[in-house]
């Protein structure tokens, strides 16, 4: 927000585009910490709450929508500012998506019917490279890799090498990766979850459960949903729900921290400071925009 406001103060214009896989869902206003009108401070925000929870938003879906928003921003001479922590979304937008052919429904059903341990053992035999890269308990990614190799006859790595549709080569990037000190980050995670309960997270989960959406749908697997749902069903106390939610949040933050520390190109600016002005990267941006 400070970057967008600084651009406005300098005579430019900006639009904030969401790149967080939870904040895309209307159903997760509290649990995703979607910004309020007050927090938006008059800056236009796009792709926040843009999907209904019954409609899964894949990385490809989001990238297609983000491309349209970026193009619209450029046409109206506004700077698109992408914010969010979903690395797969950003990678898909910049690098494109693997053109994997449609999976044979019979093969998909066969793979999804396997126990995770059996699917992982099969993947070790049929795509050992991918199996080595995955956690043996990662049900979703194991099933995806196995159905791809069985349906197409080629491992997922082959299709990843054929990525198409990325815009990284066609736009100027001014990236900044925030990597705050771990202890501070985890403390904020704990405060964040408790604050969500006070702001209506329990009621939000009650409404989600009332919709009877598929348990494996992305919106139902969002951090906090299962933890609060267990409390609502009487499986554990509110205090236990808080502990579980805080742990899940810290675990996710750790995965994000590791991904953004290792995956983006080495020349992407990284900082421990929360203040965007801690880097000179945006001074170069202002120069390019003629806003110095």
- For the stretch 151-193, pLDDT in tens is 999 999 999 888 889 999 999 999 999 899 999 999 999 999 9
The predicted structure's pLDDT at residue 143: 94
Of the options 3.90.1010.20, 3.40.50.280, 1.10.10.10, 3.40.50.300, the CATH number for the domain spanning 2-98+165-289: 3.40.50.300
Whether the pLDDT of residue 275 is over 70: the answer is: no
**In this predicted model, what pLDDT tens digit does every residue of 50-108 receive, in sequence order?**
999 999 999 999 999 999 999 999 999 999 999 998 999 999 999 998 888 989 999 99
Say how many C-beta atoms besides its own lie within 10 A of residue 30's C-beta. 19
When pLDDT is cut at 50, 70 and 90, the band that residue 287 belongs to is confident
Give the span between the Cα atoms of 88 and 175, in whole angstroms. 15
Asked if 177 and 185 count as a contact pair (C-beta separation under 8 A), the reply is no
Give the span between the Cα atoms of 191 and 188, in whole angstroms. 5
- As a whole number, the mean pLDDT across the chain is 92
Give the span between the Cα atoms of 90 and 33, in whole angstroms. 19
Q: CATH second-level architecture of 105-162? A: Orthogonal Bundle (1.10)
Comparing CA positions, the residue from 232, 173, 172 lying closest to residue 197 is 232
Whether the pLDDT of residue 268 is over 70: the answer is: yes
**In this predicted model, what pLDDT tens digit does every residue of 220-249 receive, in sequence order?**
999 999 999 999 999 999 999 999 999 999
Whether the pLDDT of residue 33 is over 60: the answer is: yes
DSSP string, 125-170: HH-HHHHHHS-TT-HHHHHHHHHHHHHHSS-HHHHHTT-EE--TTT
Report, as an integer, the average pLDDT of 254-271: 90
- Of all residues in the chain, what percent carry a pLDDT higher than 70? 98
- Which pTM does this prediction carry? 0.84
Asked if 4 and 35 count as a contact pair (C-beta separation under 8 A), the reply is no
Give the span between the Cα atoms of 181 and 53, in whole angstroms. 33
Whether the pLDDT of residue 265 is over 60: the answer is: yes
- N- to C-terminal Cα separation, the chain: 19
- SS3 string, 269-284, reads EEECCCCHHHCCHHHH
Whether the pLDDT of residue 276 is over 60: the answer is: no
- Which positions ≥6 away from 226 have C-beta within 8 Å? 220
Q: Where are the domains of the chain?
A: 2-98+165-289, 105-162
The predicted structure's pLDDT at residue 40: 95
Whether the pLDDT of residue 277 is over 80: the answer is: no
Q: Between β-strands 269-271 and 176-178, what pairing exists: parallel, antiparallel or unpaired?
A: parallel
The predicted structure's pLDDT at residue 272: 85
């Amino acid at each position: 927000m400070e970057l967008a406001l600084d651009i406005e103060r300098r005579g430019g214009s900006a639009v904030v585009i969401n790149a967080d896989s939870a904040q895309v869902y209307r159903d997760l206003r509290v649990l995703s910490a979607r910004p309020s009108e007050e927090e938006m401070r008059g800056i236009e925000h796009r792709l926040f709450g843009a999907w209904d929870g019954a409609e899964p938003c894949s990385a490809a879906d989001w990238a297609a929508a983000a491309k349209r928003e970026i193009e619209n921003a450029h046409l109206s001479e506004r700077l698109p500012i992408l914010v969010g922590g979903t690395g797969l979304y950003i990678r898909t937008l910049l690098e494109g998506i693997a053109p994997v052919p449609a999976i044979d429904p019979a093969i998909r059903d066969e793979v999804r019917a396997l126990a995770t341990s059996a699917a992982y053992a099969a993947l070790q035999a049929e795509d050992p490279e991918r199996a080595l890269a995955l956690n043996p308990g990662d049900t979703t990614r194991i099933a995806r890799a196995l159905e791809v190799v069985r349906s197409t006859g080629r491992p997922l790595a082959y299709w990843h090498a054929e990525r198409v549709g990325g815009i990284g080569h066609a736009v100027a990037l001014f990236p900044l990766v925030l990597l705050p000190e771990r202890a501070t980050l985890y403390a904020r995670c704990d405060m964040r979850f408790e604050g969500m309960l006070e702001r209506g997270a329990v009621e939000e989960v009650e409404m989600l459960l009332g919709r009877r959406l598929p348990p494996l749908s992305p919106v139902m697997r969002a951090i906090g949903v299962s933890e609060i749902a267990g409390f609502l069903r009487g499986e554990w106390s509110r205090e236990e729900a808080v502990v579980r939610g805080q742990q899940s949040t810290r675990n996710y933050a750790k995965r994000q921290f590791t991904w953004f520390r290792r995956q983006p190109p080495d020349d992407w600016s990284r900082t421990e400071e929360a203040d965007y002005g801690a880097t000179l990267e945006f001074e170069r941006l202002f120069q390019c925009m003629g806003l110095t």
